[in-house]
C-alpha cells in the first residue's frame, strides 16, 4: 500500500467529515415545525455518518497495512488504534461501530432519532479527533516512507 493511497483515503474521510458537519449545522436551522425537512436532514446525517465510518476504518486498515499489520475489519482497526493511543475510549468506538452496523436495522423513528443525536453529540467529535491525530502522526510525517514505522 503506498502513501498516495493513504493520503487519498485521509482526504476522502476528511471531506466526508466536513460534509457531515455542514449538514448538521444546516439541520439546526430548520424550524421544529417542518417535520419533513427535519426528517430529511436526520436521514442525511445518518447516511453521511454511515459512509464516513466505512471510509474511516478502511483508512486505518491502509495505515496499519503499511506498517505490516493486516487488519481487515473495523473492530480490529479500532482496537489497534486504541493500542497505538490514537483513540482514547474504546467503548465509544465500539458504540460508533455498533451504531454504524445498526443503521440498516433501525425501524422506528425514536431509535433513529437517538442514533442521529449520538452522531451529532458524540461521534463527530471522536472521529474528528482521530482524523486530526492521523494527520499529525501519519500524513504530516510521511511515515509510510520510513521502513519500520507507522
The tens place of each residue's pLDDT in the chain, 150 residues long, gives 467 899 999 999 999 999 999 999 999 999 989 999 999 999 999 999 999 999 999 999 999 999 999 999 999 999 999 999 999 999 999 999 988 888 777 778 888 899 999 999 999 999 999 999 999 999 988 755 555 444
| 86-110: pLDDT as tens digits | 999 999 999 999 888 887 777 788 8
Q: Look at residue 148 and tell me if it is in a domain.
A: no
Q: Considering its fold, how many domains does the chain have in total?
A: 1
Q: Look at residue 39 and tell me if it is in a domain.
A: yes
Taking each helix axis from N to C end, the angle separating 90-102 and 74-83, rounded to the nearest 10 degrees, works out to 160
Report how far residue 91's alpha carbon sits from residue 108's, in angstroms, rounded to the nearest whole number: 25
CA dihedral angle for residue 55, residue 91, residue 67, residue 70, rounded to 10 degrees: -70
Please report the pLDDT score of residue 150 as a whole number.
Answer: 46
User: Cα separations (Å) of 66 from 47, 57, 74, 111?
Assistant: 29, 14, 16, 38
Q: Look at residue 92 and tell me if it is in a domain.
A: yes
Report how far residue 57's alpha carbon sits from residue 145's, in angstroms, rounded to the nearest whole number: 21
CATH number at residue 20: 1.20.120.330
Q: Look at residue 66 and tell me if it is in a domain.
A: yes
Check: CB of residue 130 under 8 Å from CB of residue 87. Answer: yes
Q: Look at residue 61 and tell me if it is in a domain.
A: yes
Please report the pLDDT score of residue 96 as a whole number.
Answer: 94
Q: Look at residue 134 and tell me if it is in a domain.
A: yes
Q: Look at residue 149 and tell me if it is in a domain.
A: no
Please give the residue range of the domain that contains residue 55.
3-143
Please report the pLDDT score of residue 18 as a whole number.
Answer: 98
Amino acid at each position: 500500500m503506498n502513501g498516495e493511497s493513504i493520503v487519498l483515503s485521509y482526504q476522502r474521510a476528511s471531506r466526508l467529515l466536513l460534509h457531515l458537519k455542514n449538514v448538521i449545522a444546516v439541520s439546526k436551522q430548520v424550524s421544529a415545525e417542518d417535520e419533513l425537512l427535519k426528517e430529511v436532514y436526520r436521514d442525511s446525517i445518518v447516511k453521511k455518518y454511515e459512509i464516513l465510518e466505512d471510509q474511516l476504518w478502511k483508512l486505518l486498515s491502509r495505515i496499519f497495512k503499511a506498517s505490516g499489520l493486516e487488519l481487515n475489519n473495523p473492530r480490529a482497526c479500532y482496537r489497534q488504534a486504541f493500542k497505538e493511543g490514537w483513540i482514547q475510549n474504546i467503548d465509544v468506538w465500539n458504540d460508533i461501530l455498533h451504531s454504524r452496523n445498526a443503521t440498516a436495522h433501525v425501524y422506528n423513528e425514536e431509535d433513529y432519532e437517538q442514533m442521529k443525536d449520538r452522531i451529532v453529540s458524540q461521534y463527530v467529535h471522536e472521529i474528528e479527533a482521530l482524523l486530526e491525530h492521523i494527520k499529525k502522526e501519519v500524513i504530516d510525517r510521511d511515515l509510510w516512507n520510513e521502513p519500520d514505522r507507522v
